[in-house]
Structure 1
Amino acid sequence: MMLEPSIDELQEKIKSKYTLVTLSARRAREMRYAKDMLIENPKSHKLVGVALEEILAEKLFVKEEDSK
């Protein structure tokens, strides 16, 4: 069974696996209450999967801060 989107594709958008997991879990909790998806017709039926699809579609991202 192949998971979609793949971890390799996702890590092109967000380098850190920890950040990827944290962001998608936080977004899934948000969607649980708000029901507002940033993409149309997601493939996944689960909220974490939808969050990962949003990351792949570049609708959900992490703002990088300058380290000074």
Structure 2
Amino acid sequence: MLYPSIDVLMNKLDSKYTLVTVAAKRAREMQELSDQQIAKPVSFKYVGKALEEINAGLLNYQRPEK
């Protein structure tokens, strides 16, 4: 089962597309720089760690205004 759940994550961001984009970008960043903001993550994979950071409120995304 996915931790954190998709239902909880959808409360943090506005769409699934945004969720995937932010998590993937952060996962690539963690892989390149070897940094993480969560002290003891549940997940071993970078995408899982990025989702945990989103759930903890450490990552957010604001749409640019037109």
Does the TM-score normalized on the shorter chain lie above 0.5? yes
User: Which residue of the partner structure matches residue 6 of structure 1?
Assistant: 5
CA distance in 1, matches of 2:40, 2:17: 27
The match for 2:62 is 63
Q: Where in structure 2 are there 5+ consecutive unaligned residues?
A: none
Counting matched residue pairs gives 66
Q: Identity of counterpart residues, as a percentage? A: 53
How far apart in 2 are the matches of 1:49 and 1:4?
Answer: 8
1:20-55, Cα deviation, whole Å (9 max, x unpaired): 000000000000011110111000000000000000
Amino acid at match of 1:62: Y
TM-score (norm 1): 0.89
Q: TM-score, normalised by structure 2?
A: 0.92
RMSD: 1.1
Stretches (4+) displaced over 3 A: 64-67
1:23-38 correspondence to structure 2 within 5 Å: 23-38=22-37
Instruction: Output the CA distance in 1 between the equivalents of 2:14 and 2:45.
Output: 23
CA apart distance, 1:66: 4.4
Q: How far apart are the structure 1 equivalents of 2:12 and 2:63?
A: 12
- Read off the aligned partner of 2:44 and give its amino acid letter: H
